[in-house]
Amino acid sequence: MIVRQFISWIRTAPAGERAEATRALARAWLISDLTEDDRIAAEGALLMLLDDPSPLVRQAMAEVFARSADAPAAIVQALSADQPAIALPVLEHSPLLIDADLVDIVATGSDEMQCAIARRINLPASVAAAIAEVGSAAAALELIENPYAGLAPFSWDRIVERHGHLAAIRESMLQLEDLPSATRLALVAKLSDTLAQFVVARNWLGSDRADRIAGEARERSTVNIAARAFGDDMQNLITHLRATGQLTAGLILRALLSGNLDLFGAALAELSGLPYGRVSALLNDRGGNGLQALLRRAGLPESTYAAFRVALEASHEVGYVDSGDGAARLHRRMVERVLTHCETDHSAAEPLLILLRRFATESAREDARMFCEELAAEDAIAVLPYDDDLIAA
């Protein structure tokens, strides 16, 4: 009886009053002990109100039903396809929307709707993949910042491919501790390419030199990232490097001269097709025959064999470096030793000597920078105020 009176009254009531009455009826549906007849009548009235000309009425329903698992499914479905101001709370919170519903809305909805879906708690990987594939940059950013979203590795890669040129996307992704190393490296590549294009457009550098500097920066970043990669993450990184043509002799030599024997071994295992354990055994063969056979099987240039041999001998003397920083920087003594050997070896190719000289310059500058930082730190400690009372305490 009450619902019938409501239906009769609402036909002539002002929009604001209709909205408040609709809010009350929706709450009654959820929390009141309605009879079966009243419940059927209430649902019919709410379905009728989906056609109300005022968005305030539908918005009132959306606000009440958005988070409820007991809301009428047909009404929630209709509200999710309404104009953004009405649909957003439903899209962000309703547990009644299935994955297929959300994927369809991602494909056809506005940026605001995509962002609302990207903020959902426990967002399934399939919906996250849809946002990564067709979502706007704003939706991708919401997805990255959603700690409850489940993203497959290919979804991360797709976001980088589509939006990696945007600083906000890069910064947000690079702050994630569990970001796959291959994806992190792809972001670095996007950044280096963007910077190279910028300096060329400004006529600060020629395109060839800008590309070379960007390539060197990518290689340094690769070794830096690989120093913190282990297990499957390392293998995925190596696979990515090979697929993108970055697993070069220069990068592999840089890894060895940085003391990153994990990256060095994993790269040779990938290129040679041998198990990692077998590669490790060959690298520990102090006779050198195993290394040469391994390098040949990996398809590396013969002109680099001597450099790899001398670098590996030096790495055995220096020992393994456990710290991430230690396995990411070129070791100056190792670089100079290899360079000295190659400069006296008439069979060494000129491109190899050029590469080693660049390594030598880079390692010398890095050592100088660290030395200056240590001096500055010592000076800062020396000027700290001396407090006799503090020492006595």
Separation between Cα atoms, residue 374 and residue 276, nearest integer Å: 38
- Token reading at 205: 């550098």
- Do 263 and 321 lie in a common domain? yes
Do 254 and 205 reside in the same domain of the chain?
Answer: no
Q: Find out whether 63 and 28 touch, Cβ atoms under 8 Å.
A: no
Give domain status of residue 387, yes or no.
Answer: no
Amino acid of residue 254: R
- Reference 315, options 262, 246, 247, 370; nearest CA is 262
Whether residue 57 is found in the same domain as residue 155: no
pLDDT at 209: 87
Domain-located, residue 240: no
Does position 387 have pLDDT exceeding 60, yes or no? no
Q: Are both 167 and 187 inside the same structural domain?
A: no
Residue 1 counted as domain residue: yes
- The pLDDT tens digits of the residues spanning 276-301 come to 999 988 888 766 678 888 999 999 99
Final residue in a domain of this structure, among 97, 120, 149: 97
Number of independent structural domains in the chain: 4
Contacts of 8 (CB under 8 A, 6+ apart): none
Biggest alpha carbon distance in the chain? 103
Distance between CA 270 and CA 268 in Å, rounded? 5
Is 124 in the same domain as 219?
A: no
Q: Are residues 62 and 187 in the same domain?
A: no
| 127 domain-assigned | yes
Same domain, 128 and 194: no
98: number of Cβ within 10 Å: 13
* pLDDT band per the 50, 70, 90 thresholds, residue 390: very low
**What percent of the chain lies above the pLDDT cut of 90?**
49
- Residue 390 in domain: no
Looking at the fold, whether 32 and 75 belong to one and the same domain comes out as: yes
pLDDT for 319 beyond 80: no
Q: Could you tell me if 21 and 32 lie in one domain? A: yes
**How many whole angstroms separate alpha carbon 312 and alpha carbon 284?**
9
Strands of the chain, DSSP E: none
Report the b/e string of 175-189 with b at 16+ CB within 10 A: eeeebbbbbbbbbbb
Contact 183, 157 (CB under 8 A): yes
- Do 223 and 306 lie in one domain? The reply is no
Is 237 inside any structural domain?
no
Confidence at 389, pLDDT banded by 50, 70, 90: low
Is the per-residue pLDDT at 391 higher than 70?
A: no
Q: Which of 62, 97, 132 is the last residue of a domain?
A: 97
Rounded to an integer, the average pLDDT of 135-153 is 93
The answer as to whether 45 is a domain residue is: yes
Residue 109 domain-assigned? yes
As to burial, measured by CB atoms within 10 angstroms (0-12 exposed, 13-18 middle, 19+ buried), residue 373 is: exposed
pLDDT at 204 over 50: yes
Residues sharing a CB contact under 8 Å with residue 61, sequence separation 6 or more, in sequence order: 22, 23, 26, 46, 49, 50, 75, 79
Backbone angles phi, psi at 131, to 5 degrees: -65, -40
Tell me which residue of 283, 276, 366 sits closest to 328, measured CA to CA: 366
Q: What is the pTM of this model?
A: 0.75
Same-domain pairing of 192 and 294:
no
d(CA 313, CA 47): 79
User: Do 186 and 254 share a domain, yes or no?
Assistant: no
Q: Identify the pLDDT of residue 324.
A: 47
Total number of residues shown for the chain: 393
Asked which of 142, 161, 177 is the last residue of a domain, the reply is 177
Q: By residue range, what is the domain housing residue 376?
A: 247-380
Q: pLDDT-derived band of residue 48, with 50, 70 and 90 as boundaries?
A: confident
Cβ neighbours for 221, distance < 8 A, ≥ 6 positions apart: 185, 188, 192
Q: How far apart (Å, rounded) are the C-alpha atoms in residues 275 and 278?
A: 5
Q: How far apart are alpha carbons 28 and 26 in whole angstroms?
A: 5
**Whether 254 contacts 359, CB under 8 Å:** yes
What's the mean pLDDT in 158-183? 91
Give the residue from 363, 348, 361 showing the smallest Cα distance to 307.
348
